[in-house]
Amino acid sequence: MRMIKSFHPGRVLYSTVTAGRMMQKFDEFRTLEQTPVKHDRSALSRFYTVPVEVHRQIFANRGLPKNFEKQIKTFNECCLMVREPGVEIIKHLQRTDFDRPVNRFVLYGEDGAGKSLTLAHLLHYGYQQQYVLVHVPWVPNWMRRGLGTDNVRTIDGAIDLPLVGAAWLMHFKCQNGPLLNRLGLTVSKDYAWSKRETTPTGSSLIALVDHGIRRAKFACNVIAALLHELKQHSSSGQMKTMVVIDGFNAFFHPRTRITLAHPFLDITRNDWTNGVCVLAVDRLAQTEHRMLSCLPKCLLHREGFEHLDPFVPIRVNAYNEAEFHSCIQYYLDRKWIAAVKPGFVEELKQMSCLNPFQLMRLCSSL
């Protein structure tokens, strides 16, 4: 028997355990299948590693929760758990007839249940399947910046966010630049931005994006043009598009109106083909009047519900026993927590109520 000291920053825990117990296998929480395309029920409750170069391309400009990004830096790897909602949507996509109008999937669930990380798993899937990604990491960020100095109020009363639009175009280019260069897609008509500035027919989509980045004044209009072109190219069969939006219900905020909402609401209609929309609704996305229910009907309000109807609701639940066990094993493997006195793991389970975010918070450094 010997004493085991924790490596947990800011916290020291001791337990009298046998060396044999500490040498248990930790690979049971990982899956050998690192390709989301091949993830099925056999990989459920296990972690897989997102390659560094993929992480840099897809999530360079956000897309993962801040606390999870800190964990990635601490653990020196980006690991995502394969969970039921992600696998369910992947199986739906593998059976989809893309000649029909786009399917809309709506993730919902309690706060901290893992909706954003399920979207991250699906983004990786879309990247590997060579979808053009239209990704909004967190819509409420745009609403809460509605009083910034970069805002311009348009004729119809909506707020224009040129710097936010330019930042989103940089995010889009980072995620899709290499794929768009290979596809060689062009714009279908002339776009006039001013008397001297135009994007003529036949210009590449990358040139359109670059114009919005260089000339932030026109960024929101460029986004509208870009998403219109993506819908057309997808419907003509030249490419596939995956729309991934977190905090989608914030678009139906009762007071704030922004011009950026229009193109993203337009691309989430089902009037185009060869694509898919995966959206998440969240109580935390309600910047006013926090709802008691996490159900889509309550969070989207009547306007949002009718906008998406029909859609496929996918509930993201708290951890089950297998997922909780895998998460604990992962933290042990990363030396984030240590083997401790009997009952400690059960205490974590009770205190977190199996909620992924609460478990991560309880195991964080002091």
Average pLDDT, stretch 24-37?
Answer: 79
Q: Both tokens of residue 283?
A: 């109580």
pTM: 0.90
**Which region among 67-76, 140-149, 229-238, 285-294 has the lowest average model confidence (pLDDT)?**
140-149
Pairing verdict, β 275-280 and 159-160: unpaired
| pLDDT tens digits for range 103-135 | 999 999 999 999 999 999 999 999 999 999 999
pLDDT tens per residue across span 180-226? 999 999 999 999 999 999 999 999 999 999 999 999 999 999 999 99
20: pLDDT strictly greater than 60? no
334 pLDDT above the threshold of 50? yes
CA distance 152 to 158: 9
Query: Residue 181, Cβ neighbours under 10 Å: how many?
Result: 12
Q: 282: Cβ–Cβ under 8 A, 6 or more apart, which residues?
A: 108, 111, 115, 246, 247, 249, 294, 299
Please give the share of the chain, as a percent, with pLDDT higher than 70: 87
Per-residue confidence at 60, pLDDT binned at 50, 70, 90?
confident
Whether 73 has a pLDDT exceeding 50, the answer reads yes
CA-closest candidate to residue 136, choices 178, 165, 107, 106: 165
Residue 14: pLDDT above 80?
Answer: no
Choose from 147-161, 286-300, 313-327 the range with maximum mean pLDDT: 313-327
- What is the reported pLDDT for 342? 77
Q: Kindly report the CA angle at 247 between 246 and 250, in degrees rounded to 5?
A: 145
Calculate Rg over the CA atoms of the chain: 22
Helix (DSSP H) and strand (DSSP E) numbers for the chain: 14, 13
In this predicted model, what pLDDT tens digit does every residue of 215-248 receive, in sequence order? 999 999 999 999 999 999 999 999 999 999 999 9
- Read off the pLDDT band of 319 (50, 70, 90): very high
Round the average pLDDT of the chain to a whole number and report it.
Answer: 88
157 sits in the region (left: phi over 0; alpha: psi -120 to 50; else beta) called left
SS3 (DSSP) at 186: strand
